[in-house]
Amino acid sequence: MKSWIESANTGETDFPVQNLPYGVFSRADEAPRCAVAIGDQVLDLAALEAAGLLSVGASEPVFDRPALNAFMALGLGAWDMARIQLTNLLADGDDPALKDDADLGARALVPMADATMHLPFEVSGYTDFYSGRQHAYNVGVMFRGPENALPPNWLHIPIAYNGRASTVVVSGTDIRRPLGQMKPHGEDAPIFGPSRRLDIELEMGMVVGSPNAMGEPVTVDEADAMIFGFVLLNDWSARDIQAWEYQPLGPFQAKAFATSISPWVVTAAALAPFRTSTPEREHELFPYLRETGPMLYDIELEITMQPEGAAKATTISRTNYKNMYYSPAQQLTHHAIGGCAMNTGDLLGSGTISGPEKDQYGSLLELTWGGKEPLALEGGETRKFIENGDRLTLKGWAQGDGHRIGFGECTGTILPSPEQKDW
């Protein structure tokens, strides 16, 4: 399938007509509103809705808003309806209503270079999982030794902690190095100051569209149908702050300062051809966690790092989402099993995605093995952890036949820590 928008037909674009991911954009002096990406263009959905070319059965407009939540809350039927209508409008040779309307096309199609992207949805809540087995094993080996690498519950349940929705930001937002307490190795007492071991975590973020009621668990199949789509997610982590604070209740300030996501939400429908199965289980899962079919995804991922002033970025890792031990539907099912209400706009991080080889690890903690094996970058610089001015970029795509379903980029540049007050 091709689009009449030529830039959507190159094999290198992240946004062919088979994708149509959702986001929120604005231009100068205009209010943010919902859009889809097609080739190198942003398609204004509010303009299509106002022109009568896009209708998802809602009683009032849902795309003239600064977030996707109203549309996502309509559920799977509305999502499918929108996808069919948009595909027909953008595919070559189908519905010519947009293609032949030069005035509407001039208003509704905006070059990406002219668009400012915003957080695509209002984040109702944020939960970060720990579902990458290689990552969990690597971290366990570093801190507990190989014989106790995985916690005893890890092969039975998807482990997670509740993070901060308030500091989830869109790609391109600069991140300030966090302040906090940490206890350097060999010291008797903690110190206070900027984190010295700042890190990234390469993750996928699952976006909940349909909610469930408090006290009502969901099946894995029901959870799968609740998922609107996925984003790239970087769960920035201050490893030294984390090491001092995490016992007995887990991460807190080490993770709360920032989480970056890509501006485009790639729908579960667009990723459906790339479903794959989770790995064989060493311990049989309880029935509520057993999948009825492939519910994980084959998505290529990579991380690049570019120091301030460097001529080019260095690719420091390449891995794949299919390395996860638990699928997004299993994570969502377990989240709700005790009666937790999941809301439209909830964001669930997959956990750090690491493959079996060292160049497939999803964090600097692993790539440098706790700072003992510095990374060599283009231009001769080395890194143990992130330094001020470094720009980190996540990329991801599912590779199809002659096209790919991509997420764009998830980027962030580290700024110096805030000026310390006279505490």
- Among 98, 118, 138, the domain-final residue is 118
Active-site residue list: 135
Range(s) of the domain holding residue 25: 6-118
Distance, CA of 151 to chain centre: 25
251-282, pLDDT tens digit by residue? Answer: 999 999 999 999 999 999 999 999 999 999 99
* pLDDT for res 95: 85
Question: Is 271 within a domain?
Answer: yes
CATH of the domain at 389: 3.90.850.10
Residues 6+ apart with CB under 8 A from 373: none
Distance CA(190)–CA(196), nearest Å, equals: 13
Question: Are 93 and 139 contained in the same domain?
Answer: no
pLDDT of residue 419 exceeding 90: no
DSSP assignment of 245-305, as one string?
H-TTT--SHHHHT-EEE-S-BEEHHHHGGGEEPPPPPSSPPPGGG--SS--EE--EEEEEE
Question: Are 93 and 149 contained in the same domain?
Answer: no
Average pLDDT estimate for 99-126: 97
pLDDT of residue 176 exceeding 80: yes
* pLDDT for res 229: 98
Asked if residue 410 lies in contact with residue 233, where contact means CB atoms within 8 angstroms, the answer is yes
Question: Are 113 and 142 contained in the same domain?
Answer: no
DSSP state of 188: S
Residues 6+ apart with CB under 8 A from 78: 56, 57, 58, 71
Q: What is the mean pLDDT of the chain?
A: 97
- Among 97, 118, 139, the domain-final residue is 118
Given pLDDT bands bounded at 50, 70 and 90, which one contains residue 145?
Answer: very high
Residues 6+ apart with CB under 8 A from 325: 131, 132, 133, 155, 278, 279
347-369, pLDDT tens digit by residue? Answer: 999 999 999 999 999 999 999 99
Question: Is 420 within a domain?
Answer: no
Question: Are 101 and 134 contained in the same domain?
Answer: no
- Among 77, 96, 118, the domain-final residue is 118
Question: Are 261 and 177 contained in the same domain?
Answer: yes
Element (H, E) at 6: none
Question: Is 1 within a domain?
Answer: no
Phi first, then psi, for residue 298 (nearest 5°) are -90, 95
* pLDDT for res 72: 98
Nearest 5°: the CA angle 79, 403, 110 is: 60
Given pLDDT bands bounded at 50, 70 and 90, which one contains residue 421?
Answer: confident
Question: Are 168 and 186 contained in the same domain?
Answer: yes
Average pLDDT estimate for 301-310: 97
- Helix, strand, or coil here: 146? helix
Average pLDDT estimate for 106-112: 97
Residue type, 179: L
Given pLDDT bands bounded at 50, 70 and 90, which one contains residue 422?
Answer: confident
Question: Is 86 within a domain?
Answer: yes
368-387, pLDDT tens digit by residue? Answer: 999 999 999 999 999 999 99
pLDDT of residue 94 exceeding 80: no
Whether residue 263 has a cis bond before it, omega within 30° of 0: no
Which residues, in sequence order, are bridge partners of residue 22?
Answer: 36, 265
* Number of independent structural domains in the chain: 2
pLDDT of residue 175 exceeding 90: yes
Which residue in the block uniquely carries the two structure tokens 């991911």?
21
Query: Percent of the chain, pLDDT > 90?
Result: 97
CATH of the domain at 60: 2.30.30.230
Question: Are 249 and 113 contained in the same domain?
Answer: no
* pLDDT for res 39: 98
User: Widest CA span of the chain, in angstroms?
Assistant: 73
Question: Are 69 and 140 contained in the same domain?
Answer: no
* pLDDT for res 246: 93
Question: Are 313 and 358 contained in the same domain?
Answer: yes
Question: Are 184 and 244 contained in the same domain?
Answer: yes
Question: Is 111 within a domain?
Answer: yes
Question: Is 421 within a domain?
Answer: no
Question: Are 61 and 156 contained in the same domain?
Answer: no
Question: Is 142 within a domain?
Answer: yes
Asked if residue 150 lies in contact with residue 136, where contact means CB atoms within 8 angstroms, the answer is yes
Distance CA(143)–CA(162), nearest Å, equals: 23
Given pLDDT bands bounded at 50, 70 and 90, which one contains residue 29?
Answer: confident
Question: Are 96 and 139 contained in the same domain?
Answer: no
Question: Is 114 within a domain?
Answer: yes
